[in-house]
Structure 1
Amino acid sequence: MKVARFYAPGDIRLEEAPEPKAGPGELKLRVRNCSTCGTDAKIRRHGHHHIVPPRVIGHEIAGEVVEAGEGVSGWSAGDRVQVIAAIPCGECPDCRRGWQTICPNQESMGYHYEGGFAEYLVVPAKVLAVDGVNRIPDGVSFAEASVAEPLACVLNGQELARVAEGDDVVVVGAGPIGCLHVRMARARGAARVFLVELNRQRLDMAADRVHPDAAIASGEVDAVDEIRKLTDGRGADVVITAAASGAAQEAALQMVARRGRISFFGGLPKDKPIISCDSNLVHYRELTIVGANGSSPEHNRRALELIASGQVPVSDLITHRMPLDEVLTAIDTVTEGTAIKVTIEP
Structure 2
Amino acid sequence: MASMISWQMTELGKPLAKVEAPMPQPGPGEVLVKVAGCGVCHTDLGFYYDGVRTKSPLPLTLGHEISGIVTAAAPDAGGWEGKAVIIPAVMPCGDCDVCNRDLGNICTTQKMPGNDIQGGFASHIVVPAKQLCQVPVDDQYRPVGLADVSLAQLSVVADALTTPYQAIVDAGLSADDTAIFIGVGGVGGFGAQIAKAFGALVVAIDVDPVKLETLAPYVDKTFNVTEMPFKDLRKAVSAFVKEQGKRRTEWKIFETSGTAAGQKTAFGLMTFGANLSVVGFTMDTVDIRLSNLMAFNATARGNWGSLPQYYAPVRDLVLSGKVKMAPFTKTFPLSEINAVFDMVHHKKIVERAIMVP
Query: TM-score, normalised on structure 1?
Result: 0.89
Distance 1:197 1:235, change over 3 A: farther
Give the 5 Å matches for 1:1-346. 1-11=4-14, 12-47=16-51, 48-76=53-81, 78-123=82-127, 127-128=128-129, 131-138=130-137, 139=144, 141-150=150-159, 151-190=161-200, 192-207=201-216, 210-222=217-229, 223-232=233-242, 234=248, 237-269=251-283, 272-279=284-291, 281-318=292-329, 320-337=330-347, 338-346=349-357
Alpha-carbon deviation of 1:157?
0.6
Q: Whole-Å Cα distance in 2 between the matches of residues 321 and 144 of structure 1?
A: 8
AA aligned to 2:204 is: L
| 1:17 match: secondary structure | strand
AA aligned to 1:344 is: M
Q: Whole-Å Cα distance in 2 between the matches of residues 75 and 232 of structure 1?
A: 51
Q: Whole-Å Cα distance in 2 between the matches of residues 252 and 71 of structure 1?
A: 46
Aligned residues: 333
Alpha-carbon deviations, 1:97-124, whole Å to 9, x = none? 110012233231112212111112222x
AA aligned to 2:121 is: F
Q: Whole-Å Cα distance in 2 between the matches of residues 10 and 288 of structure 1?
A: 37
| 1:71 match: secondary structure | helix
Alpha-carbon deviation of 1:158?
0.6
Q: Whole-Å Cα distance in 2 between the matches of residues 168 and 30 of structure 1?
A: 41
Q: Whole-Å Cα distance in 1 between the matches of residues 327 and 58 of structure 2?
A: 34
Gaps of 5+ in 1: none
Distance 1:121 1:113, change over 3 A: same
Alpha-carbon deviation of 1:8?
1.2
Q: Whole-Å Cα distance in 1 between the matches of residues 316 and 213 of structure 2?
A: 29
Alpha-carbon deviations, 1:143-163, whole Å to 9, x = none? 232121121111111111111
Tell me, yes or no, if the aligned pair for 2:196 and 2:219 is still in contact at 8 Å. no
- The runs of at least 4 aligned residues of structure 1 exceeding 6 Å deviation read none
Distance 1:267 1:277, change over 3 A: farther
Q: Whole-Å Cα distance in 2 between the matches of residues 104 and 72 of structure 1?
A: 23
AA aligned to 1:31 is: V
Tell me, yes or no, if the aligned pair for 2:264 and 2:286 is still in contact at 8 Å. no
Alpha-carbon deviations, 1:129-188, whole Å to 9, x = none? xx2111112425312321211211111111111111121211100211111111011011
Q: Whole-Å Cα distance in 2 between the matches of residues 309 and 92 of structure 1?
A: 34
Tell me, yes or no, if the aligned pair for 2:195 and 2:202 is still in contact at 8 Å. yes
| 1:225 match: secondary structure | helix
Distance 1:24 1:97, change over 3 A: closer
Q: Whole-Å Cα distance in 2 between the matches of residues 163 and 176 of structure 1?
A: 20
Q: Whole-Å Cα distance in 1 between the matches of residues 50 and 259 of structure 2?
A: 18
Tell me, yes or no, if the aligned pair for 1:79 and 1:135 is still in contact at 8 Å. yes
Gaps of 5+ in 2: 138-143
Tell me, yes or no, if the aligned pair for 2:255 and 2:263 is still in contact at 8 Å. yes
AA aligned to 1:214 is: K
Alpha-carbon deviation of 1:94?
1.5
User: Please, which moves more after superposition, 135-144 or 155-164?
Assistant: 135-144
Q: Whole-Å Cα distance in 2 between the matches of residues 202 and 218 of structure 1?
A: 13
AA aligned to 1:149 is: A
User: Please, which moves more after superposition, 231-240 or 18-27?
Assistant: 231-240
